[in-house]
Structure 1
Amino acid sequence: MTPIKTFGIMYRFFHLLLLFLFISCGSNKSKLSDRNYFNRNYFYNDSLKVGIDFDKNIQFREASLGKEKELKQVLKSNNISSKDLFLVADAKENGIEMYFFYQNAQPLVANFKNAKILVSVAINNTFLFEKQKGKRKVLGLVKTNSRKDKNFSVFVNDLLNKIDIDSLNTNKMSYVSIFVKNFPGIHPNPLYASKKLETAPLKSEKGNDDKFQFLSTVNASMSNNKLYDSLLLDYEKERKQNFNSLIADLSSKEDVYKDDLVFGKIAEIAKENQVIMLNEDHYYPKHRLFAMELLETLKANGYNYLTLEGFNSKSSEKESTPNYKNGIYTDEPYFAHFIRKAIALGFTVSGHENFEKGVDRELGQAKNIVKILEKNPSAKIFVYVGHSHIEKKDDKDKWMAEYFKELSGINPITINQTVICADTKQDLTLIPRKYLTDKTKVKSSADYFLVNNLKPSLKIIYPNVEFKKTIIKDKKFSDYKNNKVLVEIVDFKEFDLMKNLAIPIKSFLIIPRNETINFELPIGTYHIFVKTDDDKTIYDQAIIVN
């Protein structure tokens, strides 16, 4: 392994600084800010039980006083320590800086709230105020850069009213908002997002699986991941109990196909049919791996179009596909490998997501797929979607596949790999619908059901390339010898072309051994990132494996 010169490090770092509303790096950062959560203009810290519903266009920054000598003098004279700081925010349009501090105080009468302005420093255009409920006290130091701001005192009093103590606004804070805020579309840190979701100040009610879905989606992109394994263990438990014995009984049937015979059967189907639809769980890399392995079979039987749910195919001349602009599903390395192989085989890759306002999503998706046939009536199309979009008949809802069948006059062959989980000796088992007609167990109209027990591995992606042990070393790693870090491996050609838009070929969690991290890679050139769960990038270099 030979280190080589890196490109675009400062550009990428600057981009990340702009991207996150809350930036958690910095040696002077307040420890009280560790539990800060943000949803656009809404803030909540669950350890302090403090929420603030700010006006629009607020900007949050590192919880640090910096070198503000004048502010420190005001704090000192009012017995406020810099260690009490938990939030810094700017209303730049108004030229206002805000610093918030937390103290435990002598308790007030139960449920009694006290709010008042303590100090008004006219010379420095600074207000110091406090708000207290019970023993919890929030102090705010607000400064304006405008000496003639007549509305400044109104702003401060309004801000006092927006501070809630011992109260969470659940309309402003949800798992969806935490996911969106901490899992951005461009080069996210899934380890950091996972921590924010896992420690979110929300209760996960039974039957409400938002937390599971977002945690699973975020963790799906990181292998060697105990949390992801535990999430799936619980998710699959009931279905395995329902299906294990049934699938074991069916395995002896002549028309139940296993491993390589699965591809032989689908080849027969592909010869006689113009459209095949395959679904996935969005947090299963093994589903993308099967889709990728199916491409050669489909290509050999005349398939030349691949259309994907939630995929944006628009890229500039300086961007190759896949990249982070293509959509949230492509963030996961094996989805990206799936797209790379499709392009390498000559497939036309496009998205069929519906973005037309006022049009039912399922109908809009079907219309977009039909457009391929309008341009090329003989096109053979591989449609890849999530969950129920492949349903051609459903007692409650009308899905994309049913709309497509009506609009095109083509009956697509549908393969469902999301319904059945079972422990099998085989990696793949393909079962015709006739064996799974019991609606109490299988609520799907699919033509075939796939039991997918593939084990994703980079050696499957690069089958004919030599792998070598790789060691990266950095003094910063020793600070995390008791904590897992995220290692992202990016193909150097893609990184050199697209910088932070390039999707890793592999992402995995590991606990460093003192100053080193060891792993295997195929011979080649790569750019390596190592990230932490507090959203720091502690390694950002290119290497050659030879």
Structure 2
Amino acid sequence: MTPRKTFRIMFRLFNLLVLLLFISCGSNKSKLSEYNYFNRNYFYNDSLKVGIDFDKNVQFREVAVSNEKEFKQVLKNNNIASKDLFLVADAKENGIEMYFFYQNAQPLSANFKNAKILVSDTVNNTFLFEKQKGKRKVLGLVKTNSRKDKNFSLFVNDLLNKIDIDSLNTKKMSYVSIFIKNFPNIHPNPLFASKKLETAPLKSEMGNDDKFQFLAAVNASMSNNKLYDSLIVDYEKERKQNFTSVITALSSKEDVYKDDEVFGKIAEIAKENQVIMLNEDHYYPKHRLFAMELLETLKANGYHYLSLEGFNSQSSEKETTPNYKNGIYTDEPYFAHFIRKAIALGFIVTGHENFEKGIDRELGQAKNIIKILEKGPNAKIFVYVGHSHIEKKDDKDKWMAEYFKELSGINPITINQTVICADTKQDLTLIPRKYLADTTKVKSSADYFLVNNLKPSLKIIYPNAEFKKVIVKDSKFSGYKNKEVLVEIIDFKEYAFMNNLAIPIQSFLTIPKNSEVAFELPIGKYHIFIKTDYDKTIYDQDMIVN
């Protein structure tokens, strides 16, 4: 699956995420649930080797035991402890609650029946059953809220048959489903999602496969990240081999622009052109950083609109700052900084994503950009997209830029920063198409190609701010002296306004030392979260840096 196809799937599924329930992360979460994986109604625990293929109406929720007395009594009578709990699910349409427990047991004899009902309480509408294979035993405590459910016993027997021990249905599980389930659109924990993807019970093919793509996208949200660095080194290796010598040879050309010259050249282009389209690779914060730095140049040359792929501006609050409701890409801190700066400069930030069913996505995107021109024919628009949407000519597919050119009569200037990777002395190198048109290594019709070797840093975002060292102390950190934790820094004003919809200004990984976590921040007020790869929040406090 190619990157653009995977991210197309990601975008569609991410917008459905609010319809899906996910396991919450309370402090009483069972340790056995750490290796739970979900794909809609299919469940699998890789550590316990237990799979359950539920009915279509099942919903998963927090892994915690009910406080009802009859539940506790049944568990006590059958020597089941709360620590044995690994899954809680509801069949809400039927009013049924399900609790699943795991125990190691004595191996079964060859003739022993491995599934049976232990408790059938028709007064309280509660069943307890067990299923065992070898040493692995699963116990299910099932209760219905319907007093007259004649089919309840049939439901329990059917459920018993759906439990598989030592068997994974690979057709029911995918990296897409793991990403969607563990990377929700409201304040996700990318460290937790990364662990779930990395340890998923699925085979990963070599090369640019689904596992890599989702891992890279999730880890791009976290700086100081060795896993991300290793993924990107492999991702760029072949292109650097192909292009480093080519770009080095071109660097002496007068019309190949480097560092500050890049902004000067784009200023010239912006004066004479109404639409500029820049693409990104969704794994790269540095691509968002360049787009952000380009805003002042475009604003000075009459650009007033910023149109973003995958961006949803239909949230209930007035758009004054980026938030998690904006879509799949804005949860990365540097994308959020990009939007913050656009708003501060007075850009009208909008989205051109096609949400209309039955219309080609590329055509729909082009039409949505044209709607800006219908309101103001002379409007100057900065269009920011992923990968191939900027292509004005392609032998296989017809992309947004080609539709836009045909329908609007405007030939957009396109800049591609996804194709070329090269080791250069410069942070930025802008190359006109004429120097790369004849090489078979470049698969793009873009007008210009950008080599982007920027190094994202919070000091670039706040160039005039005074930074101070911050030390956060907490006894809970002592349990993580050899493990990475995720530190999220949120601007206090944004957090006070939007709470869990607020996107961090910085997210990074670190290992606590002596029950301390140290970092630098500009003088100001913030809210700090520190989280684990088990999706547990171990620090949640306001902070003033002065």
Scaled by the length of structure 2, what TM-score is found? 0.91
- Give the alignment of 1:127-206 within 5 angstroms: 127-206=127-206
1:9 is aligned to: none
The CA deviation string for residues 183-232 of structure 1, in whole angstroms up to 9 with x for no partner, is 11111111111111111111112356111111111111111111111110
1:25 is aligned to: 26
Residues 392 and 405, structure 1, Cα contact 8 Å, conserved in 2: yes
2:409 is aligned to: 409
Q: Output the aligned Cα RMSD.
A: 2.2
How far off is 1:135 after superposition?
4.5
CA distance in structure 2 between the partners assigned to 1:481 and 1:63 by the alignment: 27
CA distance in structure 2 between the partners assigned to 1:83 and 1:38 by the alignment: 21
1:228 is aligned to: 228
SS in 1 for 2:170: coil
Give the letter for the 1:380 counterpart. K
CA distance in structure 2 between the partners assigned to 1:296 and 1:24 by the alignment: 42
- Give the alignment of 1:464-475 within 5 angstroms: 464-475=464-475
2:338 is aligned to: 338
The CA deviation string for residues 509-534 of structure 1, in whole angstroms up to 9 with x for no partner, is 11112222111111111111111111
2:421 is aligned to: 421
How far off is 1:161 after superposition?
2.2
1:482 is aligned to: 482
Residues 23 and 61, structure 2, Cα contact 8 Å, conserved in 1: yes
SS in 1 for 2:446: coil
Give the letter for the 1:26 counterpart. S
Larger displacement relative to structure 2 (165-174 or 365-374): 165-174
CA distance in structure 1 between the partners assigned to 2:183 and 2:174 by the alignment: 14
From the superposition, tell whether residues 319 and 475 of structure 1 become closer, same or farther in structure 2 (CA, over 3 Å).
Answer: farther
1:3 is aligned to: none
SS in 2 for 1:407: helix
Residues 26 and 62, structure 2, Cα contact 8 Å, conserved in 1: yes
Residues 320 and 494, structure 1, Cα contact 8 Å, conserved in 2: no
How far off is 1:57 after superposition?
4.0
The CA deviation string for residues 380-432 of structure 1, in whole angstroms up to 9 with x for no partner, is 11110000000111111110111111011111111000001111110000111
Give the letter for the 1:231 counterpart. L
1:10 is aligned to: none
Structure number with the bigger relative contact order (C-alpha 8 A, sep ≥ 6) is: 1
1:106 is aligned to: 107
The CA deviation string for residues 45-68 of structure 1, in whole angstroms up to 9 with x for no partner, is 112221112224434344444555
Q: Percent identity?
A: 85
Is it true that 1:94 corresponds to 2:87 in the alignment?
A: no
From the superposition, tell whether residues 130 and 339 of structure 1 become closer, same or farther in structure 2 (CA, over 3 Å).
Answer: same
Residues 190 and 219, structure 1, Cα contact 8 Å, conserved in 2: yes
How far off is 1:319 after superposition?
5.5
SS in 2 for 1:330: coil
2:390 is aligned to: 390
How far off is 1:117 after superposition?
2.4
CA distance in structure 2 between the partners assigned to 1:67 and 1:314 by the alignment: 40
How far off is 1:176 after superposition?
1.0
CA distance in structure 1 between the partners assigned to 2:87 and 2:325 by the alignment: 32
CA distance in structure 2 between the partners assigned to 1:270 and 1:439 by the alignment: 27
- Give the alignment of 1:383-532 within 5 angstroms: 383-532=383-532
Structure 2 unmatched ranges of 5 or more: 1-18
2:259 is aligned to: 259
CA distance in structure 1 between the partners assigned to 2:143 and 2:462 by the alignment: 58
CA distance in structure 1 between the partners assigned to 2:424 and 2:178 by the alignment: 37
Residues 113 and 133, structure 1, Cα contact 8 Å, conserved in 2: no
Deviant stretches of 4+, over 6 Å: none
SS in 1 for 2:329: helix
How far off is 1:150 after superposition?
1.8
How far off is 1:366 after superposition?
0.6
SS in 2 for 1:328: coil
CA distance in structure 2 between the partners assigned to 1:261 and 1:113 by the alignment: 77
Is it true that 1:348 corresponds to 2:323 in the alignment?
A: no
From the superposition, tell whether residues 516 and 207 of structure 1 become closer, same or farther in structure 2 (CA, over 3 Å).
Answer: closer
Structure 1 unmatched ranges of 5 or more: 1-17
SS in 1 for 2:186: coil
CA distance in structure 2 between the partners assigned to 1:514 and 1:81 by the alignment: 35
2:293 is aligned to: 293
CA distance in structure 2 between the partners assigned to 1:70 and 1:364 by the alignment: 56
Scaled by the length of structure 1, what TM-score is found? 0.91
